[in-house]
Amino acid sequence: MLDIDLQLRRGAFERHVRIAEDARVLALTGPSGAGKTTVLNAIAGLVRPAAGRIAIDGRTLFDSTAGIDVPTPRRHVGYVFQDARLFPHRSVRANLLYGRHGRRGSDDAFQLDAVVALLGIGSLLDRRPANLSGGEAQRVAIGRALLSQPAILLFDEPLSSLDRDRREELIPYLQRVRDEIRLPMVYVSHTEDDVRRIAHAIHRLD
Ligand SMILES: Nc1ncnc2c1ncn2[C@@H]1O[C@H](COP(=O)(O)OP(=O)(O)OP(=O)(O)O)[C@@H](O)[C@H]1O
C-alpha cells in the first residue's frame, strides 16, 4: 500500500528511507531528527527527495528515474499538524469549508454533515478557533483535511501539543477516523501509547 524508497537530503541531514508496508494505518516513530516529518513532507510533495520513489496504493507520486513529481494539490493529501493551524479570523465552519478549495463538492466522498458528525463538532461551527480547546481545534483540523477529499491522511504528532486529558479525548476520534473513513494513514509519533492504540503497523526510523 505504501511503497517508499527515498534518498533524503535536508542541509547536513542525509539518509535513505525504505518503507514497504501493506498496513493501512502505519505509524512512523523514531528519535527527534530521524527524519519523520521530512518523510511526511516528501509524501505531501512539500520536500523534494534527492532521488527515489513514492507510491501509495499503486499510484506513483514521485519517481526520480521516470521524471514523475506530482504537484502537491494533485497528490490529494490531507495533512494534520502538531498544532491545528486554523485561520483565526474565520469560523469553524469556514475553516472546514476552506478544505474544499472552493469546489461545490456534491459528488465528494466526504461531505460536511457527515464529517461534522464523525468528529462531534456540530456545536462548534459558529465559533472562532480562539474559543476552542486544543483537542477541539485538532478535530476541526482533521475535518478540514477530510473535506479536502484526500486519498491519504498524514498526521504529524497530532497529540503532542495537548495535555493528557485532551489527548485521551482526541484518541477515540482518531480511532473513529481510522475505522470509518478507511483511508491510508501515516501517523508520526514519539509516543508508544498512541502508536499502539492507533496504528496497525509501526515503522521505526533510527
Ligand atoms: N529546512 C531544513 N534545512 C536544513 N535541515 C533541515 C530542514 N528541515 C529539517 N532539517 C533537518 O533534517 C533532519 C530531520 O528532521 P525532521 O523534522 O524530519 O525529523 P523528525 O524525525 O520529524 O524530528 P522531530 O521528532 O524532532 O520532529 C533534522 O536533522 C533537521 O535538522
Q: Flag whether pLDDT at 66 surpasses 80.
A: yes
Name residue 21's beta-bridge partners.
Answer: 2
In short, whether 15's Cβ falls inside 6 Å of ligand 1 is no
116-120: list long-range contacts, CB under 8 Å, 24+ apart. Answer: 116/143, 118/143, 118/146, 118/173, 118/176, 118/177, 118/180, 118/181, 119/143, 119/173, 119/176, 119/177, 120/173
Percent of the chain beyond pLDDT 90?
A: 87
pLDDT band at 101 (very low <50, low <70, confident <90, very high): low
Beta sheet of 201-204, edge-to-edge order: 77-80, 152-156, 185-188, 25-29, 201-204
Name the residue at shortest CA distance from atom 16 of ligand 1: 35
Taking only the tens place, the pLDDT of each residue in 134-192 is 999 999 999 999 999 999 999 999 999 999 999 999 999 999 999 999 899 999 998 88
In short, whether 189's Cβ falls inside 6 Å of ligand 1 is no
| Residue from 6, 10, 28, 40 whose mutation best tests the ligand 1 pocket (most atoms within 8 A of CB) | 10
Domain 2-204: which topology?
Rossmann fold (3.40.50)
In short, whether 13's Cβ falls inside 6 Å of ligand 1 is yes
Q: Flag whether pLDDT at 41 surpasses 90.
A: yes
Residue of higher predicted confidence among 30 and 99: 30
pLDDT reported for residue 103? 64
Lookup result for grid cell 483540523: 141
- CA–centroid distance, residue 36 to ligand 1 (Å): 8
Can you tell me whether residue 25 is helix, strand or coil?
strand
Over residues 91-117, mean pLDDT: 86
In short, whether 32's Cβ falls inside 6 Å of ligand 1 is yes
C-alpha cell at 115: 464529517
| Residue from 6, 7, 8, 13 whose mutation best tests the ligand 1 pocket (most atoms within 8 A of CB) | 13
